[in-house]
């Protein structure tokens, strides 16, 4: 864990729970792609950079989930590097209380205000700023989160952030976090058609071809969709849909899983309603979902 792996002439990743990309612009100057989950991750990253005699110029954030921005503050304080993000992701990175608030749908209780969902804040510079390394291509990859992006470094290596989950993860947890289901499916199609000498997903093995994994992720999304639609044959309240999804996949309910899976199920229901597959009825003070 936290080993440096070279995947291109100028590209590396640090092997950790959410892979951290490293782009070497010059012999001694580097940019990180994301920063890990917390201060400890940031410290380990800094040690790796020091061992290589690399100077950190900036952090390019793919999105604002806490496990990708948790090391920002520590590294920024230690090196005065810039943190680059854009759009809604920039807002969540600068004001990270927004993530657990967004997931819960209100002010999050203490059970949700921890490093897994709540990173430390960091100062953010927009991708459009002249200081952004223009040789790095920004790849819009919406769906998993608000304005998520990936990056292609000059040697062609593509860092895919969280648009792909590994087969093992999907087989174990079944329901990947998705913010916008249609955008996620479109992103899977986009990634499946990409060509690159190496792809580095944050939560799946790096490889030269990810098309099959894109197909597997799509299959899992449609499987979850079918299960939810089946539950909605008769009018049903959201909490009962969520309970049955947990039961079907043998998932364990706790606060983190409630908000993560719950938010995803709500996204599926929105997608189904917008596509004409589901509708709602208000009865006896409840919002009930049902198929059309």
* Alpha helix positions (H), the chain: 39-51, 66-69, 72-79, 87-94, 98-104, 167-173, 181-192, 211-231, 238-249, 255-274
- Mean pLDDT over 129-158 rounds to 98
HEC assignment per residue over 180-231? CHHHHHHHHHHHHCCCCCCEEEEECCCECCCHHHHHHHHHHHHHHHHHHHHH
What is the pLDDT, as a whole number, of residue 26?
84
What is the pLDDT, as a whole number, of residue 78?
97
**CATH hierarchy code of domain 3-216:** 3.60.15.10
At 211-265, the pLDDT tens digits run: 999 999 999 999 999 999 999 999 999 999 999 999 999 999 999 999 999 999 9
Average pLDDT taken over every residue of the chain: 97
Complete DSSP assignment for 56-88:
EEEEE-S---HHHHTTHHHHHHHH--EEE--HH
- Give domain limits for the chain: 3-216, 222-291
Neighbours of 91 (CB within 10 A): 16
What is the pLDDT, as a whole number, of residue 27?
85
Neighbour-count burial of 145, counting CB atoms closer than 10 A to its CB (0-12 exposed, 13-18 middle, 19+ buried): buried
Does the pLDDT at position 23 exceed 90?
yes
CATH number of this structure's domain 222-291, picked from the four choices 3.90.1150.10, 1.10.3370.10, 3.50.40.10, 1.10.10.10 = 1.10.10.10
- 59 close to 21: Cβ distance less than 8 angstroms: no
What are the φ and ψ backbone dihedral angles of 271, each rounded to 5 degrees? -60, -45
Q: pLDDT tier at 287 (50, 70, 90 boundaries)?
A: very high
At 47-104, the pLDDT tens digits run: 999 999 999 999 999 999 999 999 999 999 999 999 999 999 999 999 999 999 999 9
- Mean pLDDT over 271-286 rounds to 98
Percentage of the residues of the chain whose pLDDT score is greater than 90:
99
């Amino acid at each position: 864990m936290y080993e440096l792996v070279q995947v291109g002439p100028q590209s590396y990743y640090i092997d950790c729970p959410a892979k951290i990309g490293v782009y070497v612009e010059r012999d001694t100057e580097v940019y990180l792609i994301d920063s890990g989950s917390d201060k400890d991750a940031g410290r380990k990253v800094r040690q790796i950079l020091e061992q290589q005699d690399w100077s950190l110029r900036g952090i390019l954030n793919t999105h604002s989930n806490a496990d990708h921005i948790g090391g920002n503050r520590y590294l920024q304080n230690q090196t005065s590097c810039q943190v680059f993000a854009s759009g809604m992701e920039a807002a969540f990175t600068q004001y990270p209380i927004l993530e657990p608030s967004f997931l819960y749908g209100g002010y999050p209780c203490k059970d949700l205000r921890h490093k897994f969902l709540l990173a430390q804040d960091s100062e953010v510079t927009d991708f459009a700023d002249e200081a952004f390394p223009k040789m790095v291509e920004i790849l819009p990859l919406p769906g998993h989160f608000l304005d998520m992006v990936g990056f292609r470094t000059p040697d062609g290596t593509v860092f895919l952030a969280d648009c792909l989950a590994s087969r093992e993860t999907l087989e174990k947890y079944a329901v990947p976090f998705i913010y916008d289901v249609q955008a996620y499916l479109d992103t899977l199609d986009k990634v499946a058609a990409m060509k690159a000498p190496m792809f580095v997903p944050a939560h799946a093995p790096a490889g030269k071809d990810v098309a099959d994994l894109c197909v597997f992720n799509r299959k899992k999304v449609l499987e979850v969709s079918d299960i939810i639609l089946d539950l909605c044959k008769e009018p049903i309240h959201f909490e009962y849909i969520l309970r049955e999804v947990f039961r079907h996949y043998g998932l364990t309910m706790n606060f983190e899983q409630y908000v993560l899976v719950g938010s995803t199920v709500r996204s599926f229901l929105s997608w189904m309603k917008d596509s004409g597959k589901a509708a709602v009825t208000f009865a006896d003070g409840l919002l009930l979902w049902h198929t059309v």
